[in-house]
């Protein structure tokens, strides 16, 4: 990599280091990871436009995380997912026709607009309802193209209706001893990280914010008889299991980096994360509840984790798991 060094007055090779930074922005003291370029000759810091842009984006993401606002790349995912342009989507939502263009260019959306966009990203049914209700606001061509994208997504979802059962069976296969409490938390982490890496939820069932953390109700009732004891699945079989090789790889790393902890530790981990805490807002500790953990909140949180830890592959989940444990117990 080469750039111009003012001290050396020449084009030089440079190295890049990551540093932790803090900055006061709009009344918020934001912590974020930035990059700094150093001349390989004189070791002084040099200016590189691409690194400046990276740091501005990191700061913007840190601010959006602090305010729980949707990020630019998530808005771009909406446009791609539903095969809709910026102007048509703005019109569908009853906003100014240039609103989405401004957001893509970096303007920060208001909280209400952000929540609508997050819900659109998370829920195909929610978007379909908007598309049908406001189709007269856009051209017939734009409507047909976007509806075709929604139908395609829903067809994929139908083929994955048994994913939760497959996921449960495969986790039991990978673990020698696992309690119902730990199983629920591993399913939750699988769901979150699968969404972050592939932009798709691995199963469609909703997760509920129970007192002891995220819970998939059907799985709970299936294994409730085991209480706090390890599950003994007598008829366990993974022959022709409905999982791809990539999905199996994710399960392996979830078990490797989270399955090493007890159910209680995993419970504490999920209690520290935004989606469960947000769903439980206003409830007392230990209070029973069947509130749904919003898929939009799961999406936003695990995307932010993937971005913060610069995850490129499933193996990178290790850093998050380690940090989470250290924050809670060290």
Read off the pLDDT of residues 22-51 as tens digits, 9 standing for 90 and up: 998 888 888 888 999 999 999 999 999 999
What percent of the chain is modeled with pLDDT above 90? Answer: 77
List Cβ neighbours of 135 (8 Å cut-off, separation of 6 or more): 92, 143
Domains of the chain: 2-67 (3.10.20), 72-158 (no CATH), 163-329 (no CATH)
Give how far the C-alpha of residue 252 lies from the chain's centroid of Cα atoms, to the nearest Å.
19
Confidence of residue 157 (pLDDT cuts 50, 70, 90): low
Determine contact, residues 176/215, Cβ cutoff 8 Å: no
Confidence of residue 156 (pLDDT cuts 50, 70, 90): low
124-139: per-residue pLDDT in tens? 889 999 999 999 999 9
Instruction: Tell me how far apart the alpha carbons of residues 153 and 36 are, in angstroms, rounded to a whole number.
Output: 41
**What is the SS3 assignment for 90?**
helix
Confidence of residue 13 (pLDDT cuts 50, 70, 90): very high
pLDDT given at position 161: 47
pLDDT given at position 153: 80
Instruction: Tell me how far apart the alpha carbons of residues 305 and 265 are, in angstroms, rounded to a whole number.
Output: 19
**What is the SS3 assignment for 114?**
helix
Q: How far are the Cα atoms of 90, 153, 243, 264 from residue 159, in angstroms, in the given order?
A: 31, 10, 11, 34
Measured CA angle at 215 (ends 213, 216), to 5 deg: 170
Average pLDDT, the chain: 92
Mean pLDDT to the nearest integer, 187-191: 98
294-327: per-residue pLDDT in tens? 999 999 999 999 999 999 999 999 999 999 999 9
At residue 159, does pLDDT exceed 80? no
List Cβ neighbours of 324 (8 Å cut-off, separation of 6 or more): 269, 272
At residue 286, does pLDDT exceed 50? yes
Higher-pLDDT residue of 1, 214: 214
SS3 content of the chain, % helix, strand, coil (to 5): 55, 10, 30
182-193 burial: b if 16+ Cβ within 10 Å, else e: bbbbbbbbbbbb
Instruction: Tell me how far apart the alpha carbons of residues 229 and 169 are, in angstroms, rounded to a whole number.
Output: 17
- The region that residue 318 occupies, defined by phi over 0 for left and psi between -120 and 50 for alpha, beta otherwise, is alpha
Q: Residue 213 phi/psi, 5° resolution?
A: 110, -175
Check residue 292 and report its DSSP letter: B
Provide the edge-to-edge strand list for the sheet that holds 10-25: 2-5, 10-25, 28-39, 45-46
Determine contact, residues 324/272, Cβ cutoff 8 Å: yes
């Amino acid at each position: 990599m080469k750039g111009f060094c003012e001290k050396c007055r020449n084009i030089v090779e440079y190295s890049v280091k990551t540093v932790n930074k803090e900055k006061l922005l709009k009344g918020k003291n934001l912590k974020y990871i930035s990059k700094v370029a150093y001349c390989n000759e004189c070791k002084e810091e040099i200016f590189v436009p691409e690194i400046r842009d990276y740091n501005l984006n990191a700061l913007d993401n840190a601010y959006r995380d602090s305010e729980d606002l949707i990020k630019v790349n998530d808005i771009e995912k909406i446009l791609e997912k539903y095969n809709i342009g910026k102007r048509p989507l703005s019109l569908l939502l009853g906003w100014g026709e240039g609103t989405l263009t401004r957001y893509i260019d970096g303007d920060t959306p208001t909280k209400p607009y952000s929540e609508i966009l997050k819900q659109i990203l998370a829920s195909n049914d929610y978007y379909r309802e908007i598309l049908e209700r406001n189709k007269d606001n856009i051209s017939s061509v734009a409507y047909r193209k976007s509806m075709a994208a929604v139908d395609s997504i829903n067809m994929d979802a139908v083929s994955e209706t048994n994913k939760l059962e497959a996921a449960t069976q495969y986790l039991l296969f990978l673990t020698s001893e696992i309690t119902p409490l730990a199983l629920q938390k591993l399913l939750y982490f699988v769901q979150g990280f699968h969404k972050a890496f592939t932009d798709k939820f691995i199963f469609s069932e909703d997760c509920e914010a129970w007192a002891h953390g995220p819970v998939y109700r059907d799985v709970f009732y299936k294994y409730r008889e085991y209480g706090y004891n390890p599950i003994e699945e007598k008829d366990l079989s993974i022959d022709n299991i409905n999982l791809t090789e990539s999905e199996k790889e994710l399960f392996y790393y979830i078990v490797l980096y989270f399955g090493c902890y007890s159910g209680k530790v995993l419970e504490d981990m999920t209690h520290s994360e935004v989606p469960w805490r947000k769903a439980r807002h206003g409830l007392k500790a230990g209070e029973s509840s069947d509130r749904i953990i919003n898929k939009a909140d799961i999406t936003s949180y695990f995307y932010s984790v993937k971005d913060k830890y610069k995850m490129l592959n499933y193996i990178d989940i290790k850093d998050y798991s380690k940090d989470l444990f250290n924050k809670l117990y060290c």
